[in-house]
């Protein structure tokens, strides 16, 4: 057996301790008491620190998180951000949420309320609100929610289904209404910045931004109507935005957000707005008369379709066949010819009289379907004389036709 002296034991113990300290330091388990850095004292809650002349509060940067040394937000904002913030601050209170309520019936013939929501812009301090027709169509009750959450009953003032526009009104008593100023859509250029404020999915007064992606887009809004001058934008527009304002960088209303193209139902960057120049033209009439008085060619038009073209042996494949003219009416007096009573055929419950003219152009607008006739006469009044081209047995005939008043059912 080997005998160790006290000296050997001390050397062995010292070596083991040194090795332990070295390994611990390398692994971070052991720290040196003085490494050249000043260590912060343990944090003391502010409420436990007494203020006094001999006591100061240490506001030096905390070692536990990074300190944001950026300037204050007002100084850090870019010019673009400042525009967004300024326009939103000035105009968000002018945007309202519109809830339309209609009533259907369940299997037990009990009335069931059905609601839809959209947006609108307050346009004057009398309480008139501009929105889309489809937001308020068929509504039996309208509820308008202002920026402060207060609700007011809305009443219908006037509608223009042809441009998908409507004006409703609230009682302004006791409310400090903020209004949206009108701009001009004719000044817009592709690439201009635009802002949209609305209530997508019920999220009130949401701001989105984008650019004008296209101008003069023709867009069919239903079976009969096409709006030819729609503004296309990539500003996010979603369900609930309909009727809300599209603004330029001066905070002026340049469009009324109307619809989106989307395979999913959400925004994919293709939205459309009715130009404000159309609204400026029709809104005064809506407020004054409740409708827009437009001109009309007083005939019974039938849109051509392949079976009709083949059966009637027509020389054209697109246009409107004149089935009948109003007896003694303006169109008849201008020389437009209707079909013969002896050549009537029934199609899907409707009687069509063959042999009449086929309208192919009205006031410079090519006519391929009924929606083109509405579009050609959208900005015309009764009494106006417009050039009309018809195909009569393969021959083009040009006529001057004075417009009649459009029947209300067609407006």
Provide the CATH topology of domain 92-169.
Answer: Thrombin, subunit H (2.40.10)
- 134 catalytic, yes or no? yes
Q: What is the pLDDT along the chain (411 residues), one digit of tens a residue?
A: 444 454 554 555 566 666 666 666 555 555 544 344 444 444 444 444 444 444 454 555 555 555 555 555 556 888 889 999 999 999 999 999 999 998 777 777 667 778 888 999 999 999 999 999 999 998 999 999 999 999 999 999 999 999 999 999 999 998 899 999 999 999 999 999 999 999 888 788 899 999 999 998 888 777 678 888 899 999 988 888 899 999 999 999 999 999 887 666 666 778 999 999 999 999 999 999 999 999 999 999 999 999 999 999 998 999 999 999 999 999 999 999 999 999 999 988 889 999 999 999 999 999 998 989 998 999 999 999 999 999 999 999 999 999 999 987 544
Are residues 292 and 162 in contact, defined by beta-carbon separation less than 8 angstroms?
yes
Closest CA to 207 of 332, 83, 370: 83
Per CATH, domain 185-289 is 2.40.10.10: yes
Closest CA to 302 of 365, 367, 364: 367
100, 119, 128, 164: which is the annotated catalytic residue?
A: 164
In the chain, list all ranges with CATH 2.30.42.10.
295-410
In the chain, list all ranges with CATH 2.40.10.10.
92-169, 185-289
CA-only gyration radius of the chain, Å: 36
Are residues 82 and 119 in contact, defined by beta-carbon separation less than 8 angstroms?
no
Per CATH, domain 295-410 is 2.30.42.10: yes
3-state helix, strand, coil in the chain (%, to 5): 25, 35, 40
- 242 catalytic, yes or no? yes
Pair of tokens at residue 39: 């260590």
Alpha helices by DSSP H, listed for 260-340, are 276-289, 306-312, 330-334
- 342 catalytic, yes or no? no
100, 119, 134, 160: which is the annotated catalytic residue?
A: 134
Strands of 182-275 (E only): list them. 193-198, 206-220, 226-233, 245-247, 253-260, 271-275
Distance, in Å, from the CA atom of 195 to the CA atom of 217, rounded to the nearest integer, reads: 19
């Amino acid at each position: 057996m080997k005998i160790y002296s006290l000296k050997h034991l001390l050397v062995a113990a010292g070596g083991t301790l040194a090795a332990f300290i070295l390994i611990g330091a390398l692994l971070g388990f052991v720290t040196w008491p003085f490494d050249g850095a000043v260590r912060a004292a343990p944090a003391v809650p502010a409420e436990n620190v007494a203020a006094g002349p001999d006591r100061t509060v240490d506001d030096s940067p905390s070692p536990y998180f990074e300190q944001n040394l950026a300037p204050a937000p007002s100084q850090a904002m870019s010019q673009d951000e400042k525009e967004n913030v300024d326009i939103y601050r000035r105009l968000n209170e002018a945007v309202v949420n519109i809830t339309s309520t209609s009533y259907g019936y369940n299997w037990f013939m009990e009335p069931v309320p059905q609601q839809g929501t959209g947006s609108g812009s307050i346009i004057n301090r009398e309480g008139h609100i501009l929105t889309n027709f489809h937001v308020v169509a068929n509504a039996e009750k309208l509820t308008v929610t202002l920026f402060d959450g207060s609700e007011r009953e809305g009443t219908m003032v006037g509608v223009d289904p042809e441009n998908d526009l409507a004006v409703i009104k609230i009682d302004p008593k006791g409310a400090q209404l903020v209004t949206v100023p009108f701009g001009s859509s004719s000044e817009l250029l592709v690439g201009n910045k635009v802002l949209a404020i609305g209530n997508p999915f019920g999220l009130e007064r949401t701001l989105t931004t984008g650019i004008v992606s296209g101008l003069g887009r023709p867009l069919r809004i239903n079976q009969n109507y096409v709006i030819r001058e729609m503004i296309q934008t990539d500003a996010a527009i979603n369900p609930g935005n309909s009727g809300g304002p599209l603004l330029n960088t001066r905070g002026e209303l340049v469009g009324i957000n109307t619809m989106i193209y989307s395979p999913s139902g959400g925004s994919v960057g293709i939205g459309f707005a009715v130009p404000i120049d159309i609204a400026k033209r029709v809104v005064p009439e809506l407020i004054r008369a409740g409708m827009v008085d437009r001109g009309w060619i007083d005939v019974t038009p039938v849109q051509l379709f392949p079976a009709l073209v083949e059966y009637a042996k027509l020389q054209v494949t697109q246009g409107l066949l004149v089935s009948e003219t109003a007896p003694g009416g303006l169109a008849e007096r201008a020389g437009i010819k209707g079909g013969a009573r002896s050549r009537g055929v029934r199609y899907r419950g409707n009687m069509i009289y063959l042999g009449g003219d086929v309208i192919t152009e009205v006031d410079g607008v090519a006519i391929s379907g009924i929606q083109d006739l509405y579009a050609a006469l959208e900005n015309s009044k009764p009494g106006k004389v417009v050039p009309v081209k018809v195909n009569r047995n393969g021959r083009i005939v040009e006529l001057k036709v004075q417009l009649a008043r459009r029947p209300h059912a067609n407006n």
